[in-house]
Structures are given as structure tokens and as C-alpha cells.
Amino acid sequence: MAESSDKVLQVELVAADRLVWSGQATMVIARTTEGDVGILPNHAPLLSSIIEGVVDVQTAEGETWIAAVDAGFLSVADNRVSILAERAEMSHEIDLEKARQDLERAKASGENDDAAQEAVRRAEARIRAVERAS
Amino acid sequence: MALSVREYRARIRSTESMKKITRAMELIAASRIIKAQQRAQAAAPYARELTRAVSAVATFSNVDHALTLEPEDPKKAAVLIITSDRGLAGAYSSSVIKEAERLVEKLKGEGKDVDLYTSGRKGEAYFKFRQRAVVQAWTGFSDQPTYDVAAEIGATLIEAFLAETGDEGHAVDEVHVVYTRFRSMLSQEPTAVRLLPLEVVEGTEAPDKADLLPLYEFEPSPSEVLDSLLPRYVQSRIFFALLQAAASELAARQKAMKSATDNADELIKKYKRIANQARQAGITQEISEIVGGVNALADAQAGSE
């Protein structure tokens, strides 16, 4: 297995209640607490917290999959990338209208509140994911 | 035996309608249990990856965390009991409560006070009836739990665990969970596990001596990663317990309703037999009355001639 997976990453994007996406990829981009990080094959083992944002997965066939995720984790070891988030959605599953409404609501509910800001970031991430995908 | 045929007919009818209800509940439970199992399966990858990440951190870094620290002198324990919202599931709720009582007795024997937390209306009702204090009860989701409720329960328990003793609120030194493990459609087993302090036993496969240990880089830092990783791990464990309990509840309900339907069948058969007997007895009696009457008339006529 180690030989065949030298050039690709085995990616699993997992939400708390389901496996959202899994497959092989050449590059994964995610947003950690420290900033965006790009993972290429043979990346050093890494365990990092990620924040609400967009995850970009480029497959070996040149396709790009985009997903919106909540706060969670990214772990890389032996060319296996797992992205864990309590909620995660692929861009084509997101209802753009609903995301926009959520954003409006979250913005209206107050800027200072931590929970509200989290909701704003989450809604923005979902909108960004859809816009990037189209 | 003294009942009339009409009364037996009424009983047969009511048993038949009861049978229809239990049969419907059996079928509903059977169809929901497949969904519950699928949900449990769908949640498995998250739990697996999370366990892998936690054991990676625990194995490859030497960071102690408040959630893994064994208190030196545990005085107080919290017990979360996962029961069902509705009855008609055989011994499901009572056996999980019995297991919980056993655990509570054991903890009290070790000199610990016990705080109770329940999920599901049956557990809440049980302790309310016995006038025993329940710190917090969650209800209304026992047959299809969502991750959000697991997160809420987890947050409450973690808060209680991290609170300093002597603070206001319900500080505890240990957290236990009692739930019903779903083994198969036929067997579900009440299980008690200690949730906190965490014991991470599962390591990733033992590395060859020639290989170097994969040294993880942690971003932002090992302690911060662990800080956000461990609460999620706890929540995912609770979610797992809730899903198992949901599947067990449905399986128990299906089994209970199946035997209720079978019993109704038996009862109907029995009542039909008795009703027929009563009908025949009635006919026989009528015939003998008629015959007796005719004889009496004939005798009377013979006497008067």
C-alpha cells in the first residue's frame, strides 16, 4: 500500500454523523487556526485544528471538490488525510439561498456574541464554498 | 364460564384491534431499526478517525490534559443513564435502570456521592417517582438522536467534570455512562462505561523498531489541539452511546410487540374456542329445554285423557 500511495493522498472528509467524501487527491487545502494550509503527498505528519471555512480537494483526475466545514481537525499521516468536523457539506449540497438567509440572520443577531460570530463564519464559509465551486 | 356468547365476541373483537395496533408498532419498529443501524454505521467513520487522532496525540506527545487526569481522591461521580422516551419496549428501560442502580450502589460502596443525569422520559419518570434528585434530564429524542444533543450533553458533563470541587454547581470527579449496547437484533446488553477521566487505550499499530515514529507536528500547539480534540472525543462517545441505545430500544420494542401480537393471537384462539363452547352449550340447553317442554306437554296430555 505504501508504494502505490506515494503520489496521492487518501482523503476522508468526515462529519459527525456521516462520511461526506472520500477518495484520492493530489492536494488538499484547508484553513487552520494559523492560516490556510496546503497538503501535498508525502507531507509530514500533522495534526491541526481547523476553523469554519472552505476545504479544497484536488483529485488525481484534475477535478476540484469544494466543501464547507465547521471547526474541527485535520490530521495527516502516511499520506492519509482526514478532515473531521461536526458538520460538513459538499458545495453541491448547500442551499445558497438558505445560507444567505442564515448569514443575514446571524449578522442581525449581534456582532459581539461569540455564538453569533461563529454562525456568521459558518454561513460565510458555505456561501464561499458555493461561489468557488460555480 | 358464565359469560354469554355475546360477551366473548366483544372480547375477541377488542383483542383483535389490540393485535392490529401491536402489529403496526412491530412493523414501524422494524423499519426504523434499519434506519437507526444505518445512522450508527454512518457515524462510525467520525468516531474511528477521532479515536485515531486522539491516540496519535496521546502516543506521540507527552501532554497531560485536565480531561485525562485521574483525580487523587474521587469523592463524587456523575452517572448518565440513557433510557427511552416511550414504553412498550419490553424490559428495555428497566434493565438499563437496573444496571445503573448497580453502578450507583458500587460507587456509593466506594465512598462516592452520585449525581444523576438522565436521557429519555422513562429514566426521568423513574427517579421522579422515587423522589430522587436528577441534576439534569434530556428528553424527546431517544429513537433518533442527533449530534447536537450529544454535543449538549457532552458539554454539560465536561463542565461538571472540570468544575473545581467546592464551586457552586455540580462538580464531579468521574463521569460514567450507562446505555444499552446493540449486539444484534436478538440481544441488547445494558453496559456501564467510565467516560471521564478519559482512558485512551487504543494505540496506532506498534511501529517497527527500524521505522521512526511519525512525529506529528501540532498546530497551533499540542496542548491546544488536545484542548479541542478531547471534548469532541467525549461528545462522539456520547453520540455513539445514544445511537446504540436508539437501535437497542427499537429492537427491544420490535421484540416486545412481536410477542404481544403472538399473545393476542393465542388469546383470540382461546376466546374463540370458549365462545364456541358457550354457543354449543346454549344450543344444547335450548334443545333439551324444548325436548323437556314437549315431553312435559305430552305427559300432561296423556294424563288428562
Closest among B126, B244, B113, B124 to B191, alpha carbons compared:
B244
Q: Are B120 and B100 in contact (CB under 8 A)?
A: no
Q: What domains are there in chain B, each with its CATH number?
A: 25-202+214-257 (3.40.1380.10)
Structure confidence at residue B201 as a pLDDT band (50, 70, 90) = low
Would you say residue A50 has pLDDT above 80? yes
Supply the pLDDT for residue B2: 58
Between helices B222-304 and B147-162, what is the axis angle to 10°? 120
Average pLDDT over residues B33-43: 88
Say yes or no for a CB contact (<8 Å) between A75 and B42: no
Alpha helices in B83-203 (DSSP H): 92-109, 121-129, 147-162
pLDDT digits (tens, 9 = 90+) for B158-171: 888 888 766 556 78
Structure confidence at residue B213 as a pLDDT band (50, 70, 90) = low
- B22 against B55, higher pLDDT: B22
Supply the pLDDT for residue B165: 63
Residues in B lying within 8 Å of A, measured between beta carbons: 39, 42-43, 45-46, 49-50, 52-53, 56-57, 146-147, 150-151, 214-220, 224-225, 228-229, 232, 236, 239
* CA distance, residue A36 to nearest chain B CA (Å): 12
CA distance B273 to B267: 10
Beta strands in chain B (DSSP E): 76-82, 113-119, 136-138, 174-182, 188-196, 217-219
CA distance B305 to B303: 6
List the single residue in B with minimal CA-CA distance to A86: B147
Supply the pLDDT for residue A66: 86
pLDDT digits (tens, 9 = 90+) for B146-192: 888 888 999 899 888 888 766 556 788 889 999 999 888 888 899 99
Half-sphere exposure of A49 (CA within 13 A, CB side): 16
* CA distance, residue A31 to nearest chain B CA (Å): 11
Q: Which residue has the cell 454505521?
A: B41
CATH annotation of A9-90: 2.60.15.10
User: What ipTM was assigned to the predicted interfaces of this complex?
Assistant: 0.76
Average pLDDT over residues A118-132: 79
**Which region among A3-12, B56-65, B105-114, B174-183 has the lowest average model confidence (pLDDT)?**
B56-65
Average pLDDT over chain B, rounded to an integer: 85
Test mutation, A1, A42, A47, chain B, max B CBs within 10 A = A47
Between helices B5-60 and B222-304, what is the axis angle to 10°? 170
Supply the pLDDT for residue B276: 92
Structure confidence at residue B211 as a pLDDT band (50, 70, 90) = very low
What is the residue extent of each domain of chain A? 9-90, 94-133
> Listing from the earlier edge strand, what are the strands of the sheet with B113-119?
B136-138, B113-119, B76-82, B174-182, B188-196
Structure confidence at residue B212 as a pLDDT band (50, 70, 90) = very low
Residues in A closer than 8 angstroms to B56, CB to CB, are: 45, 47, 75, 77
- B236 against A7, higher pLDDT: B236
- CA B287 vs CA A126, B293, B294, B299: distances in Å: 86, 10, 10, 18
